[in-house]
Structure 1
Amino acid sequence: MSNSHLFLKSGFPRAPLQNGVGRYICQLQRITLKFCKNNGSSRGMREFIEKQLIDFAKENPGTVVYVKPRRHRTPVIVAEYLNGDREWHNCRNLSKEEITQWITLMKTQNGSSSSLRLRKMWHTDMPSIQGPWTPFTLKNPASNLVIFPNEELSKPLDVEKSATEKLIELFREQRLSEGKLEENRGN
C-alpha cells in the first residue's frame, strides 16, 4: 500500500455550493497562463493564446483569464477555484491541443477532487469477508452446468401483453361498441 495519502488533506465528499441542484455553477474562478515569449518550450502555450484564448474567454464568461509573460521560465497553467483551492500544471513542450485538454479538464473540476483524500461516512471494526454482492450471488449453481444452446432457456418468457397491444385491443372494443350503438339506434 502506498503512503502518498499521508501528505494529502482529508475530508468528506460534498457538492460545493450544492452545485447542480438548482443550476450549474462553474467552479473555475480564474485561470492564469504563464509563459515565455521566446523559449521553445512555450510554443504550444503561445499558439493557444494566439488562436484559441479569445474563443475560450467568450465561451466561459464567468472565468477570469490572466496572461502573464515571464522570461526564461517554463509555461504553467494556474487554476483557482471558488472553494479557494489552487491547482497548477506544468505545460513544458505541450502542444496547443494538449493545453486545450488540460484547460477543459480544469474547467470541469471543482478544485478539491485531486488534492483531497476522501473519507467514508461510516466505519466498521469487522468488514465483510464474503465480498460484494453480485447478480450471480443467489443463482442456482445447477445453471453453471447447462450446455448451450439450451431450448428450455431459449423459450420466450410468458409476458403479459405490451401497453401498445392493450391500447389496440381497447380501441377495437370501443369501435365494436360504437358500431353496436349505431345499429341499435337504427332499429
Structure 2
Amino acid sequence: MSNKHLFLPSGFIRTPLQNGLGRYIPQLQRITLKFCKNHGGSRGVRDFIETDLMEFAKTNPGTVVYLKPRRHRYPCMVAEYLNGEREYLSCHEFSRAEIQKWLSYMCTRSGIPVMRFRKYNHTDYPSIQGVWNPFTHQAPEINVAQFPHEILSKPVDNGPTATDQLIEIFKKTQIKDPVKPEH
C-alpha cells in the first residue's frame, strides 16, 4: 500500500462560490501550452494545436489559451484557476489524445488543490441526531427480502399526483376569474 497520502495537505470539501447554484462558472481561467517546434517530445502537443485547438477554444469560450513556443525544452501545460491556484503538468511524449484528456480534466476541475479529507461529512452546524442517509428510515425487512417481493413491490398510491393537483387548481382559478372582454 502506498503512503503518498501522508504528504498531501488535509482539509474538508469546499465548493467555490456555491458553483452550480443558478449557473455553472468554469473555474479554469487560462491555460498555457509551452512546446518546442522541433523536439520529438512535443509532437503530441503540436498535433493537438494543429487539429483540435480551435475546437477546444470554441467549446470553452471562458478560457484563454496561450501558446508559447520554446527552443529545446520539454512541453508542459500550465493551468491557472479563478481562485489563484496554478497547476503545472509536464507533457513530455504525450499523444494528442492524452493532451485532450488532460485539458478536459483541467477544465472540469475547481482549482482547489488535491487533498486528503479529514472527514467525509463536514458541517458548520453539526446535528446531535447523527448523519442522515437514504436508508435511515427504511423498513428493516428490506435487508433480508428476496426480490421481486409481493408486498414490497406493489406500487404506492398516495392520492392524486402533483400534475392532477395542478390541473385542479387551474380549473378552480378559471371558474373564479372569468376573462373580462376588452372594449
TMscore range, shorter length: 0.5 to 0.7
Alignment partner, residue 118 of structure 2: 119
Alignment partner, residue 51 of structure 1: 51
1:121-162: per-residue Cα shift (whole Å, max 9, x none)? 27xxxxxxxxxx799993389857xxx9x9x859x7486599
Number of residue pairs aligned between Structure 1 and Structure 2: 149
Instruction: Please give the alpha-carbon distance, in whole angstroms, between the structure 1 residues aligned to 2:106 and 2:160.
Output: 47
Correspondent of 1:138 among 128, 137, 140: 140
1:71-97: per-residue Cα shift (whole Å, max 9, x none)? 222211111111122222222222212
Instruction: Please give the alpha-carbon distance, in whole angstroms, between the structure 2 residues aligned to 1:158 and 1:51.
Output: 54
Residues 135 and 97 (structure 1), Cα distance of their counterparts in 2 relative to 1, 3 Å cut: farther
Instruction: Please give the alpha-carbon distance, in whole angstroms, between the structure 2 residues aligned to 1:158 and 1:30.
Output: 52
Instruction: Please give the alpha-carbon distance, in whole angstroms, between the structure 1 residues aligned to 2:94 and 2:71.
Output: 18
1:32-63: per-residue Cα shift (whole Å, max 9, x none)? 10111111111110011112212222222221
Residue identity in the other structure for 1:6: L
Instruction: Please give the alpha-carbon distance, in whole angstroms, between the structure 1 residues aligned to 2:155 and 2:11.
Output: 51
Alignment partner, residue 13 of structure 2: 13
Residue 24 in structure 1 maps to residue 24 in structure 2? yes
User: Matched residue of 1:56: which SS?
Assistant: helix
Instruction: Please give the alpha-carbon distance, in whole angstroms, between the structure 2 residues aligned to 1:83 and 1:52.
Output: 27
Alignment partner, residue 79 of structure 1: 79
Percent identity of equivalent pairs: 55
Instruction: Please give the alpha-carbon distance, in whole angstroms, between the structure 2 residues aligned to 1:47 and 1:158.
Output: 56
Instruction: Please give the alpha-carbon distance, in whole angstroms, between the structure 2 residues aligned to 1:17 and 1:142.
Output: 44
Unaligned runs of 5+ in 1: 123-132, 168-187
> Quick check: 1:13–1:119 contact (8 Å CA) kept in 2?
no
TM-score when normalising by structure 1: 0.64
User: Matched residue of 2:141: which SS?
Assistant: coil
Residues 158 and 67 (structure 1), Cα distance of their counterparts in 2 relative to 1, 3 Å cut: closer
User: Matched residue of 2:140: which SS?
Assistant: coil
Taking the TM superposition and a 5 Å limit, the aligned residue runs for 1:99-118 are 99-112=99-112, 115-118=114-117
Q: What is the CA distance between 1:8 and its match in structure 2?
A: 1.8
Instruction: Please give the alpha-carbon distance, in whole angstroms, between the structure 2 residues aligned to 1:141 and 1:118.
Output: 30
Alignment partner, residue 92 of structure 2: 92
Residue identity in the other structure for 1:70: R
User: Matched residue of 2:6: which SS?
Assistant: helix
Instruction: Please give the alpha-carbon distance, in whole angstroms, between the structure 2 residues aligned to 1:58 and 1:72.
Output: 30
Instruction: Please give the alpha-carbon distance, in whole angstroms, between the structure 2 residues aligned to 1:66 and 1:142.
Output: 59
User: Matched residue of 1:25: which SS?
Assistant: coil
User: Matched residue of 1:139: which SS?
Assistant: helix
Bigger Rg, which one: 1
Q: What is the CA distance between 1:11 and its match in structure 2?
A: 2.0
